[in-house]
């Protein structure tokens, strides 16, 4: 795409802090972007009765590119997840979450390089629930051929483009024979169109075990909505935590980029939030916009700061604040 205007949702919790940090770094790197910035989330809901102002929707529908910081979702009551709402409204069906080891961040796993493709619009996250009586609630799992085909194809297309060797389908078809069985069947049908890529399938509970025993055996993973959400948090743990896991949500016409982690209200306003995952999500956005050189420059600067190890946020084992960490990256630029 060729555009210099993007929509920005600041979110709540640590959202505004890491948004300011990321935009400062983008500007320092010469990204040459204009921003239409909106406050969204809990505070906007409490004050104006809407999660997103109408102007925010209109902006996204004009720019087609959204950089969205974390937003608090109430547990059990209140409004529905804004992430789910946006994904459904704009059919952002392909959620990609790359987890790659960084030599500067020490973990028990040194060679993790896994890209998770998560179907984003159906499964249990479709939100089709029914209260049967005061003691019984049903949640309906929805899997369709259409949505399964396009997420599987996205994973294989990515594998070909990026010279990956294997795609693993994750499911629970041994128990959910119709729904997960359909997803697995579609996977193997599509895989025949990509003879140069190894195709395999594994049951989700086995994958959870194998990821912490032999993560190096995984390359590209494609899976349903709920499994992808859970397993991508697991893969973040292999590389140092959610503060290092970026994310993109792609549809036919719209693209949204966000960090995987939550709004962390417990540390909001303390100036210690780690903006790295959100920054790397912004790098994925730059690449989507055709600004690969700017993205590469930012990634190198972050790697240098992490490798130096003297100015790190507390979640990375340091004692620096968000502002100092941001400044260090900008100085490297």
The active-site residue, picked from 172, 291, 297, 327, is 172
Q: Is 233 labeled as catalytic in the residue annotation?
A: yes
The active-site residue, picked from 32, 205, 253, 308, is 205
Q: Is 205 labeled as catalytic in the residue annotation?
A: yes
Unique residue bearing structure tokens 């994310």: 247
Q: Is 157 labeled as catalytic in the residue annotation?
A: no
Q: Do 247 and 259 touch, CB atoms closer than 8 A?
A: yes
Residues 6+ apart with CB under 8 A from 243: 261, 274, 276, 277, 313, 315, 316
Closest by CA to 38, choosing from 74, 73, 63, 4, is 63
The active-site residue, picked from 125, 158, 227, 325, is 125
Helices (H), 91-178: 145-161
Residues 6+ apart with CB under 8 A from 7: 35, 36, 38, 56, 59, 60, 62, 63, 65, 66, 67
The active-site residue, picked from 229, 315, 325, 327, is 229
Q: Do 35 and 23 touch, CB atoms closer than 8 A?
A: yes
Helices (H), 162-288: 179-191, 204-213, 225-239, 276-288
Q: Is 93 labeled as catalytic in the residue annotation?
A: no
Closest by CA to 225, choosing from 91, 114, 94, 68, is 94
Q: Is 125 labeled as catalytic in the residue annotation?
A: yes
The active-site residue, picked from 91, 113, 185, 233, is 233
Using a 10 angstrom Cβ sphere, with 0-12 exposed, 13-18 middle and 19 or more buried, the burial of residue 84 is middle
d(CA 182, CA 187): 9
What residues are labeled active site? 125, 172, 205, 229, 233
């Amino acid at each position: 795409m060729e555009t210099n205007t993007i929509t920005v949702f600041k979110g709540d919790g640590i959202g505004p802090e890491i948004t300011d940090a990321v935009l400062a770094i983008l500007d320092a790197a010469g990204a040459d972007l204009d921003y239409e910035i909106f406050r969204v989330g809990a505070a906007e809901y409490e004050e104006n009765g809407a999660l997103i102002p109408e102007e925010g929707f209109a902006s996204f529908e004009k720019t087609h590119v959204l950089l969205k910081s974390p937003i608090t979702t109430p547990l059990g009551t209140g409004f529905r997840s804004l992430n789910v709402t946006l994904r459904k409204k704009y059919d952002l069906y392909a959620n990609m979450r790359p987890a790659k080891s960084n030599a500067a961040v020490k973990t028990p796993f040194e060679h993790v390089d896994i890209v998770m493709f998560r179907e984003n619009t159906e499964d249990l996250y479709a939100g089709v629930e029914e209260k049967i009586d005061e003691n019984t609630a049903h949640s309906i799992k929805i899997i369709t051929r259409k949505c399964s085909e396009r997420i599987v194809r996205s994973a294989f297309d990515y594998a070909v483009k990026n010279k990956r060797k294997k795609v693993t389908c994750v499911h629970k078809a041994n128990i959910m024979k119709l729904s997960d069985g359909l997803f697995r069947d579609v996977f193997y049908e599509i895989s025949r169109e990509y003879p140069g890529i190894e195709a395999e399938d594994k049951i989700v509970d086995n994958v959870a075990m194998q990821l912490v025993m032999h993560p190096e055996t995984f390359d590209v993973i494609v899976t349903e909505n709920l499994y992808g959400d859970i397993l991508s948090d697991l893969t973040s743990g292999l590389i140092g935590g959610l503060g290092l896991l970026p994310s993109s949500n792609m549809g036919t016409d719209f693209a949204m980029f966000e960090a995987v982690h939550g709004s962390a209200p417990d540390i909001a306003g303390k100036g210690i939030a780690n903006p790295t995952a959100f920054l790397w999500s912004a790098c994925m956005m730059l690449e989507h916009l055709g600004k690969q050189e700017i993205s590469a420059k930012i990634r190198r600067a972050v790697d240098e700061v992490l490798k130096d190890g003297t100015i790190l946020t507390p979640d990375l084992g340091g004692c620096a604040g968000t502002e100092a960490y941001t400044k260090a990256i900008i100085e490297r630029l």
